Amino acid sequence: MKERLTIVKVGGAVVEDEQQLAQLLKDFAAVEGRKVLVHGGGRKATKVAERLGIATHMVGGRRITDADMLEVVTMVYGGLVNKQLVARLQACGVNAMGLTGADADIIRSHRRPPLSVDGVSVDFGFVGDVDRADGDMLARLIEAGITPVVAPLTHDAQGNILNTNADTMASVTAVALSCHYDVTLIYSFEKRGVLANPDDDESVIPTITRPIFEHYKADGTISGGMLPKIENALAAVDAGVSRVLITLATAIDGKSGTIIKK
């Protein structure tokens, strides 16, 4: 029987909210057994870029990462946010280690080709789409008593850092580690779960399967940034992850939220 592993992904909005972040780190430290934290930081990157006079361009909710913005996200994700989280987890008694995909070659990707958005070809720049994640290397670190804290940066094995979606990072990490552990993946953010009505925090959809997702996508109940999050969650359960939960950052005990099932 595989040992249990919990992977928690925390989004940039929570990273920016001190009260929610403090509670999440406390709860994460209390999670029993082996664990991994994957984080975003897009809001912090936008703020730092503004201070440096670097414009932020978004298309369809996705960041255009030109050479200047790549420097910003590398500094913010791999440095500022990652190391602050590591230090705070150490203070909570968690032996954390900060990693990007380039460290120990744990996650490799390729540069995303131009995509058609509303009929227009868009070059997203230095954005990476994941090719593989090394679950064996991550498992060795975990078995050595280390809790990986993974920033949303990957590499292409050609010397280039690439900006990579944090939800995707969490999903591929969970799949890679599912060969070694019984994995629960928790997407934590500022809402109680996937909402049927975005203006009603009590309208949590308790369970989502592929057919339910397609129905809600078609009628517009689920839209925007929640679409790729659920796609990543469904990809994870399809590939062997035992359980995926989307829930409030202060509720990672698994007792509430939206469960994603096959």
pLDDT (tens digit per residue) in 66-105: 999 999 999 999 999 999 999 999 999 999 999 999 999 9
Q: What's the domain range around 91?
A: 4-260
Separation of first and last alpha carbons in the chain: 21
Eight-state DSSP code of residue 231: H
Domain count, the chain: 1
What is the CATH number for 106?
A: 3.40.1160.10
The residues facing 116 across adjacent strands are 121
Residues 75 and 58: their CA atoms lie apart, in Å, by: 19
Of 127, 28, 240, the C-alpha closest to 262 is 240
pTM of the model: 0.94
pLDDT (tens digit per residue) in 205-247: 999 999 999 999 999 999 888 888 899 899 999 999 999 999 9
The residues facing 106 across adjacent strands are none
How are the residues of the chain apportioned to helix, strand and coil, as percentages rounded to the nearest 5? 35, 25, 35
What percentage of the chain reaches a pLDDT higher than 90? 84
Name the most confidently modeled range: 73-87, 115-129, 191-205. 73-87
| Averaged pLDDT score across all residues of the chain | 94
